[in-house]
Amino acid sequence: MSSSPRIHAVETLLVDVPTIRPHRLSVATMNHQTLVLVRLQCSDGIEGWGEATTIGGLAYGEESPESIKANIDTYIAPLLEGQDASAVAQQLARVASQVQGNRFAKCAIETALYDAQARRLGVPLSELFGGRVRSSLPIAWTLASGDTARDIAEAEKMLDLRRHNIFKLKIGLRAVRDDVAHVAAIKAALGARASVRVDANQAWSVTEALDGMRGLADAGVDMVEQPIVAHDKLGLKRLTDANIIPIMADEALHGPRDAFEVAAAQAADIFAVKINQSGGLRGAARVAAIAEAANIALYGGTMLEGAVGTMASAQLFSTFGELAWSTELFGPLLLTEEILQEPLQYRDFALQLPTTPGLGITLDTDKLKRLRRA
C-alpha cells in the first residue's frame, strides 16, 4: 500500500498588478491590486494554489497582503509541512486549533489544499462540494470611475461586447443626493438593457441610507449593498424592514456566525457570499446554507481576487442551488496582466467553468516570477 502524499512546501507570493483604471471605493482608490498567492507542493508531484487577496491594504479589513504572507510563512506553513496532503479536513482542523482569526490567510490555505486534492482525484474542485448545478455564472461589472459619462460609456462597451449586462456602482464618497443623481443618470442611459445595483461600502448613516434608498428605488435601481457600517445589524434590519429596495449584507458577514445572526434577525434580503470573508470555501458554503434555510437570496461576491481566487469562488458558487442575484467575479478583468497560461473564459455575460481537475487553471510561473515582489 502506497504511503500518503506529504505537504512538501508552502510558498506565499505577493504579486503586484496595475489595474486598467482607478477603482474608486468609499474606503480606498485602487490603482493596482496585490494578489496574495499560496503555492502548496506535495510529495506526489501535485501542486495546489490558493489566494488571499484583499482590498486597499488595511483600508478594508484587518488583514493586509503583508500580514497575510507573514502569518502564513511564520505560523501556518510550519504546521502543514510534512503532514498528509490528502487529509484536508485534518490539516484545516490543525490550523484552526493553532491560529486565531486570519480568515483570508486560512482561505488561501484551504483553497490550495482542496485544489491539490481535487487534482489528485482527477475531478473539478466543485465535485468536493457536492458537484456543480451550472456550468457558467452570470457576471456583474463594477463601474467605479466616479465619472458619470465615463461610467455610461464603459457600460455601453460591456453591453456591446456581450460581457456584462449587470452593473454595480460604487458610491459613498459624495453627498447622498449627488450619488443618487449619478446613479440615476446611468440607469436612465442603460434603461431595461441592464440591471443596475449600488454598493455604498458602509459609507452612509441609517438616515442617509433611508433617504438614498428612496431616490435609488425611484430611479429603477435593483438593490443596495451594505449601505451602513458592518457592525450595525439592527440598523441593517431597519433598512430591510423599510421595504424600499432590496438590501444586501456584505461586510456584515464574516462567516457562518454572522450569517446566522443576520438571518435570525431578518436583517437582509440578500447575502453576498465571499470565500475570503467567510474564512474559506467551507465557511462560504455554510453561509450560503444558512441563507437558503432562511429564504435569503444569494449573490456571489468578490474581493477583487485574481484568477485563482476567482475560480475558487466560481467552483463553489456553481454548486449553489440558487444564485438569484448572480455574481461579480470580474477581478481578473480589472488587471492589466494575465497570470494564467490560458485566460478565464468570459462570454455571453457569463464566466465559463472549466471541467479539468482542481481549479481547472494553470498558472504562468514565468509571469509570476516577473511580477512578484522580491
- Residues annotated as part of the active site: 170
Cα within 13 Å of Cα(365), Cβ side:
6
Place of cell 454598493: 199
Q: Rounded to an integer, what distance in angstroms lies between the CA atom of residue 255 and that of residue 12?
A: 24
- 3-state SS class at 341: coil
Closest-CA residue to 271 (of 243, 300, 245): 300
How far is C-alpha 358 from the chain's CA centre? 19
Q: How far apart are CA 65 and CA 33, in angstroms?
A: 10
d(CA 233, CA 246): 15
Nearest to 50 by CA among 297, 369, 272, 359: 359
Q: Please give the Cα distance from 115 to 121 (Å, whole number).
A: 10
Please say whether the beta carbons of 56 and 28 come within 8 A.
yes
